[in-house]
Amino acid sequence: MSSNPYGGIEAGGTKFSCAIGTSPGDIQQIIHIPTTTPSETLSKVVEFFKNNGPIESLGLAAFGPIEINKKSPNYGHLTSTPKEGWRGFDLLGYLKEKLNISIYLETDVQSALRAEHLLGAGQGIDNLLYITVGGGIGGASLVNGHLLEGLMHQEIGHMFIPKLEEDKSFDGVCHFHNDCWEGLSSGPSIETRWGKSGEDLGIDHNAWELEAKYLAYGIVNALLVTMPERIIVGGGVMKNEGLIDKVRLNIYKMLNGYIDLPSLTNLEALEKYIVLPSLGSSSGILGALMLARSES
């Protein structure tokens, strides 16, 4: 092992977080840079690592969709992101050229899953589903200790789910599908449907019953496909008080006893099966750092 520390980048739609450290317990430097244009944001990212280096290698946890197939000529390029100026951008290539070090890539959601698995709410569990509900909906799965990916990374947020009768006049907010899961249940969908952000609605608003039903639909579908041993549901929307309990109750009702296993038998068991993350908003950057450390 080298004596140089590792670098991590969590590249998000609103900010890029950059960290340098030898381990999650030893973060030596961290900064947050607003996501504006690729050249403006990335010149500051490069400057940070050049000024605070040398580093051994870098883990890149990127917003997506991003090409993660190493055999593709577009490996490391952002693909169909609606984010202005970033669509098609060669994020990995740009950073490699400017920093000239080994860079390991995964999605921000995969990095958050990695950190929760190694340090947080999923420790010791090798079949794990991580879902984040915020500006969009993202998901990643660990299957027998390996990230589930094939043609590309998972895109759980764009599953199609039934639209509820009481919500039929709402079109949804996904730029590609309108009323896919993310289109009906992400933070922006709440704000568009009710005219207020989730945190301004108050905990008694009937928005949360609808939200819990929609989240349960998607989670049940992902559960039935990947059969995780635990599900971690995070993101800004899940910070609304009581929502996780409503989601669990709806999942319990939807499954209707079909999966006859102790972890799903009753609501008390579901409290251990469907949990909030324990690392909060730092999971992405910690995961990126641990990716660099594990691959080096």
Which one, 180 or 238, has the nearer CB to Zn ion? 180
Tell me if 25 sits within 8 A of 67, measured CB to CB: no
Minimum Å gap between C-beta 139 and Zn ion is: 13
Task: Determine, following the binding rule CB under 5 A, whether residue 158 of this chain makes contact with Zn ion.
Answer: yes
Task: Determine, following the binding rule CB under 5 A, whether residue 246 of this chain makes contact with Zn ion.
Answer: no
Task: Determine, following the binding rule CB under 5 A, whether residue 163 of this chain makes contact with Zn ion.
Answer: no
232: part of which helix (H) or strand (E)?
strand 230-234
Phi, psi of 168 (to 5 degrees): -65, -20
Minimum Å gap between C-beta 137 and Zn ion is: 9
- Residue from the set 174, 237, 238, 244 that interacts with Zn ion by CB under 5 A: 174
Residue 144: count of CB within 10 angstroms of its CB:
7
Minimum Å gap between C-beta 192 and Zn ion is: 14
Look at residues 274, 176, 179, 163 and name the one whose alpha carbon lies nearest to residue 219: 274
> Total number of residues binding Zn ion (CB under 5 A)?
5
Binding span for Zn ion by CB under 5 A among 2-10, 40-48, 150-158, 199-207: 150-158
Binding span for Zn ion by CB under 5 A among 11-19, 113-121, 136-144, 166-174: 166-174
What distance in Å separates the CA atoms of residue 62 and residue 90, rounded to the nearest whole number? 12
Tell me if 45 sits within 8 A of 61, measured CB to CB: no
Task: Determine, following the binding rule CB under 5 A, whether residue 184 of this chain makes contact with Zn ion.
Answer: no
Task: Determine, following the binding rule CB under 5 A, whether residue 156 of this chain makes contact with Zn ion.
Answer: no
Which one, 32 or 87, has the nearer CB to Zn ion? 87
Binding span for Zn ion by CB under 5 A among 6-14, 158-166, 259-267, 284-292: 158-166
Task: Determine, following the binding rule CB under 5 A, whether residue 180 of this chain makes contact with Zn ion.
Answer: yes
- Residue from the set 177, 264, 269, 281 that interacts with Zn ion by CB under 5 A: 177
Q: Which token pair is 223?
A: 């559960």
Handedness of CA 123, 126, 128, 130 (dihedral sign): positive
Which one, 41 or 189, has the nearer CB to Zn ion? 189
Minimum Å gap between C-beta 174 and Zn ion is: 3
Look at residues 206, 274, 202, 277 and name the one whose alpha carbon lies nearest to residue 245: 274
Which one, 49 or 181, has the nearer CB to Zn ion? 181
What distance in Å separates the CA atoms of residue 178 and residue 190, rounded to the nearest whole number? 14
Q: Which token pair is 248?
A: 């669990």
Tell me if 283 sits within 8 A of 234, measured CB to CB: yes
E strands along the chain, which residues? 6-11, 15-23, 26-34, 58-62, 103-107, 128-133, 137-143, 146-147, 230-234, 274-275
Task: Determine, following the binding rule CB under 5 A, whether residue 212 of this chain makes contact with Zn ion.
Answer: no
Binding stretches for Zn ion (CB under 5 A): 158, 174, 176-177, 180
